[in-house]
Chains A and B, each alone.
Chain A
Amino acid sequence: MATWLLSTFVLAALAPWLHRLLRAATPWVLATYAAAMAVHLATWAPQVADGATPRVAWTWAAALGIEFSLRLDGWGLLMAIVISGVGATILLYGGGYLAGDRRLGSFYMFLLLFMGSMLGVALADNLLLMFVFWELTSLSSYLLIGFDHERPAARAAALQALLVTGLGGLALLAAVVLMGVAGGSYEFSSLLSRGDAIRGHASYPAIIVLVLLGAFTKSAQFPFHFWLPNAMQAPTPVSAYLHSATMVKAGVFLLARLTPILGGTAAWQVPLMLAGGATMLLGAVMALGSDTLKRILAYSTVSVLGTLTMLIGVGTPAALHAAVVMLLAHALYKGALFMIAGAVSHATHEYEPERLGGLARIMPWTATSAGLAALSMCGLPPAFGFIAKEAFYESTLGASGWSTWLTSAAVLGNVLLFAVALRVGVMPFTARATQATTDAHEVSLTLWLGPALLAAIGILIGLSPAVCDARLVVPAGAAIGAGETPPRLALWHGVGPALYLSGLTVAVGCAAFAMRRAARLAGIALRKPAAWGPESWYHGCVAGMNAVATWQTRVLQNGYLRVYLWTTLVTAVGLVGYALLRGADLTDLPLSWDLHAGETVVCALILLATAAAVRARARLAAIALLGAVGYGVALIFVFFGAPDLAMTQFLIETLLVILFVLVFYHLPPFVIYSELAARTRDAIVATAFGGMMALLVMAIGGGHDGPRVSDYFAERSLGDAHGRNVVNVILVDFRAIDTLGEITVLAAAAAGVYALLRLRGGRARLPRIAVEPRTTIGSAKRERAETAGT
């Protein structure tokens, strides 16, 4: 199974290239591959039915005890066969559906990527590995829903699906970690025997909430159902595959898989039954009220997903068994119906069932497949859907509590789905021909073969359910806690309550179909309250997040240098000041006034010159004062044994004054733009920061007792580097590579200056930037122009 998994991913990577090589033969090759996988997986069935659970594992993150482990049990096997089998028909159909599209190669790639990820979800034994594949399915779903990425609606739907399922994915990750902590292992196979420990653990309620969040978002359960109908923006093959047969089943799949570990308690069962039941009815009603084929099918999928959730919630062996049967039946008929809807729209360019008719004569193959699939969806014999519906009724009738409620809901849901099945699977083919259908034509083989196969299988295993019962359905049920139920699927169960309910369903369903106009109006009326439903909450959340993001960007990225500066400074003063005041005893600083007359005078002069430079009104005065500060600093270097620094500082300061004079000559005089309040505020912040820096120097300037790097330099300078000036030796020998970097920076700065000054040929080419002259806060007091220099 690892080979199939890996080869699917490899094939995904190769798909665009393969498509270029094989052109029209590609879908056949890929479908053969997927079909071969399905058949090969099916050959494991007898072994798995005997109780074997083959497992392979490789070390993944040894330090965390995480393995890359795969395991094949009955439930995973059923899912894997559905994934590869339906996948084969979809790959074939997709090749026909998108024939001629220049992105067909990437379509195959995304589809195969999804297939591999979904197989991973079905086969992973390690919970974290399962999570990785789970997220990969969300990601490939995003790519596939947004396949027509030039349409804004497709992009929005793709993003919505990704956000909703991605958010659920995060909850699931948290659940997985909590389960790993509570159960002491991340392997499903180990956790199976530790269910009691987890159910008794303090974090059990949290686990349930998080698992349900993950599964409900993925499987479109109320109130997270809205993304699924919107996901119909995807090309039809994608809707058929991901959004009916496989990916949306992942949530249900996980719930069933975790039932032996987490289930059996009211905390698990009640929310599943409530959410499942609500989703089932809501989906069926919305399906009836929808207009387009794909949307109707999407809501009916939501309804069936609700049914599956509800059955898992009921949790009796019969209910779990029914869920397995239902999942298989639904994958077959819904996958087929989606593909048929796509084929019909492909042939007629029409999307609403009410505008279609008479296609039975024009599209015989498609019509036959549609009829067979609709038979299954209606739950009529001899289709497999009939067996599934019988099992459903039996399990609700046999449920220990709430049996009446569950059964009533089940009947109501099935009645509505019956009408829906007639509406999408029968009416377009049998009703009177319309304008849209007159010039239609039968679709090509690739477009009808897939749905025909799925629909036919749905009838065949309905006729002889023994084919799959003992080998596939029973082991699948056993793996999710249904116990060793005897094989019991049969087309004829004898006369009993379930059969009566079936009859009732058919009768009321026909009536509902006859009154479909009224039902539609009711469904349309429901759209109004739905406008305040969960989808609007989603839009509210997204809008809210955007608003917060815009607001905080406006606050933080406002484009005012001084706001950035003050934010940084105030934060720095706050943090460092706090650490200083907390960490150091300020009364115990190694303070030494230790005054020398010369130093004190120089320090005072520097401070005076600095203050004067800040207050200077004339540019030339400011430059002169700046020079004075620089010379003062150079004197400090002289006092404290740094002749090299002093010399460099003197020279640089001289050159800098020349530089300033050269440039300032061309700049405008000083202007005070800010108001007094702003200046006062800035002065306070700047002074606070300066005070903090002074404190910092006092706090760290005291002493350090440990060995210093400098000691090494002091000792080795003469012996190793033949130099008596240790500073110079550091520059050209010990740390020469730093110096090399620094002179390179210098060269870059010079190149920048040269580029700015000399490459002015670009000036004419540069668009002159329009500037709205900002009125300065208050009155811009253009201070008197300076006297000298201008």
Chain B
Amino acid sequence: MTSVILTTTARLLHPVLLITSIFLLLRGHNEPGGGFSGGLVAASAFALHAMAHDARQARRALRIDPHVLIGVGLLTALSAGVMSLAAGAPLLTGLWTSVHMPGLGEWAIGTPLLFDVGVYLVVVGITLLIILCLSEAE
């Protein structure tokens, strides 16, 4: 059931949604957003793609297997926690450092951000795994 309107909309929306998702992920620590909602937005970008074309197209657009996303996401989140162990603090203690970005001023960067990236990847992975599998099962 490919319709021209849907494919066009999907093509236009796809990059917008992806950028929005990254934006939500990055601002999540200070404003509404974060790994969960960011990941869901990214997943819906590909879900839209799958509905506009088909699941195989969506997989091609995704380039990475959802399984890999889940695995990498879990490992990222875990490694964010393990880093504090290496620093001698309890598991998952946040470590922070300040980075000076030209034109943006001081930015605090820490392991919680990395953790959130892990959450993001897992959410994208599971959502797409479920939706793509189901639509392929048709």
Name A's B-contacting residues (CB within 8 A).
Answer: 643-644, 647-648, 651-652, 654-655, 658-659, 662-663, 665-666, 720-725, 727-729, 731-733, 736-737, 739-740, 743-744, 746-747, 749-750, 753-754, 757-758
Contact = CB atoms under 8 A, between A and B. Distances in A.
Contacts of B24: 647
Grouping DSSP codes into helix (H, G, I), strand (E, B) and loop, the A interface class, with mixed when no group exceeds half, is helix
- Binding site secondary structure of chain B: helix
B74 interface: yes
B133 to A, nearest CB: 5
Given A658-B51, A662-B134, A743-B123, 16 more contacts: A648-B37, A651-B41, A655-B127, A658-B47, A666-B138, A725-B28, A725-B30, A728-B33, A740-B81, A743-B73, A743-B119, A743-B122, A747-B122, A750-B70, A750-B129, A754-B129
Nearest to B40: A651
B134 A659 contact: yes
B104 interface: no
18 contacts: A648-B36, A651-B44, A655-B44, A655-B127, A662-B138, A663-B134, A723-B29, A723-B112, A725-B32, A725-B34, A732-B34, A739-B115, A740-B78, A743-B118, A746-B122, A750-B70, A754-B67, A757-B137
B112 A721 contact: yes
Contact of A728 (B73, B78, B94, B116): B116
B77 interface: yes
B6 interface: no
Contacts of B9: none
A750 B138 CA distance: 18
A721 B111 CA distance: 10
A638 B103 CA distance: 34
B34 A644 contact: yes
Interface of B: 24, 28-37, 40-41, 43-44, 47, 51, 66-67, 70, 73-74, 77-78, 81, 91-92, 94, 96, 108, 110, 112-113, 115-116, 118-119, 122-123, 125-127, 129-131, 133-135, 137-138
A750 B71 CA distance: 12
A736 B67 CA distance: 23
A732 B77 CA distance: 9
Contact of A753 (B43, B115, B133): B133
A737 B31 contact: no
B67 to A, nearest CB: 8
Contacts of B47: 655, 658
Contact of A724 (B30, B36, B126, B133): B30
Contacts of A643: 32
Contacts of B35: 731-732
Nearest to B125: A750
Given A722-B29, A728-B28, A750-B70, A733 B127 contact: no
B33 A732 contact: no
A747 B126 contact: yes
Given A665-B138, A740-B78, A729 B29 contact: yes
Contacts of B70: 747, 750
A476 B92 CA distance: 70
Given A652-B40, A665-B138, A731-B34, A722 B51 contact: no
Nearest to B84: A736
Contacts of B32: 643-644, 647, 725
Given A746-B126, A747-B74, A648 B116 contact: no
Contacts of A749: 126
B57 to A, nearest CB: 16
B123 A733 contact: no
Nearest to B115: A732
A736 B133 contact: no
B110 A722 contact: yes
Contact of B34 (A728, A744, A747): A728
B131 A750 contact: no
A733 B108 CA distance: 14
Contact of B134 (A722, A727, A757): A757
Which 7 residue pairs across A and B have the least CB separation, nearest first? A651-B40, A750-B126, A643-B32, A724-B30, A723-B29, A732-B112, A743-B122
A753 B136 CA distance: 13
Contacts of A739: 77, 115, 119
A731 B32 CA distance: 12
Contacts of A663: 134
Contact of A659 (B110, B112, B130): B130
A654 B73 CA distance: 23
A749 B66 CA distance: 14
A724 B33 contact: no
B117 to A, nearest CB: 10
A758 B129 CA distance: 11
Contacts of B122: 743, 746-747
Contact of B37 (A644, A736, A740, A750): A644
B115 to A, nearest CB: 5
Contacts of A662: 131, 134-135, 138
A646 to B, nearest CB: 8
Contact of B92 (A644, A665, A740): A740
A760 to B, nearest CB: 9
A744 B74 contact: yes
A754 B135 CA distance: 12
B32 to A, nearest CB: 4
Nearest to A731: B34
A736 B130 contact: no
A725 B123 contact: no
A753 B40 contact: no
A731 to B, nearest CB: 7
A619 to B, nearest CB: 16
Contacts of B30: 723-725
Contacts of A722: 29, 94, 96, 108, 110
